[in-house]
Chains A and B, each alone.
Chain A
């Protein structure tokens, strides 16, 4: 009886560790998006300060390519939109994961109690 519970407990713990790994992976991805968001916001601000006398270049590989100011602004705005969307997506994923881990933690603690009880019974019998 105790052994069966122990096996189940071990399997659940393993599942839980995997889940935690996923959580930290998503956290890292979110953090990265946050950095990109700040980067792009800074660029947007800088582009906003320019006027038509300034020439804008975009670095593509090792080459600087001349680009229209409005086009650059549009690109950055689009990027910001995309990044914000991604952050929201990750936020939802993380919330979901948090809920699942919470449930899993409860499952684990109840299993642990069961296991301890079963162990106590086994000892009592001997």
Chain B
């Protein structure tokens, strides 16, 4: 940054702080959203464990609506249908699907750890610096006010 923080006026610093607060909030909520997405993938990956040879032919209840189930048998334990995005679904083997979810989970972890968290830390550090400069300025202002008052009382 080319601008020296101490050169800025109090209102400007205040504005900068608000902006940084907004950015921090945005990044924090992004992390939250990514974590939610990640949990979904973890759950999906875990539920794939049910699709194994031991469970083939077993009976299960299929939810037709959220309140109605019909009996069925587990016929296919080799493949499942995975949503890869923008309306495309791909039939994959269970192993491939697990690999797919692992890829997604790793991708999200990478985004959080490598991109958002460093940015968030940087913003936090910047905010800290701004707040410190603001405190110094406020103190200076108070001191100058006090001394001018003293001058006022002595002269009166």
Seen from chain A, the residues whose Cβ lies within 8 Å of a Cβ on chain B are 39-40, 42-43, 46-47, 50, 54-60, 64, 72, 76, 79
Contact (A64, B89) CB under 8 Å given A46-B100, A57-B81: yes
User: Number of residues in B with C-beta < 8 Å to the partner?
Assistant: 12
In the complex, besides A60-B87, A76-B86, 12 extra interface pairs with C-beta distance below 8 angstroms are A39-B86, A40-B85, A40-B86, A43-B84, A43-B86, A46-B85, A46-B90, A46-B100, A47-B84, A56-B89, A58-B87, A72-B88
Contact of A54 among B85, B87, B90 (CB under 8 A): B90
Indicate if the CB atoms of A57 and B85 lie closer than 8 Å: no
Indicate if the CB atoms of B90 and A50 lie closer than 8 Å: yes
Q: Which residues of A contact B81 (CB under 8 A)?
A: 57, 64
Please give me the residue from chain B that is nearest to A38 by CB atom.
B85
A-B contacts at CB below 8 angstroms, number: 47
Task: Assess whether B92 is interfacial by the CB under 8 Å rule.
Answer: yes
Q: Which residues of A contact B87 (CB under 8 A)?
A: 58-60
Assembly CA distance A46 to B84 (angstroms): 7
Task: Assess whether B21 is interfacial by the CB under 8 Å rule.
Answer: no
Q: Which residues of B contact A79 (CB under 8 A)?
A: 86
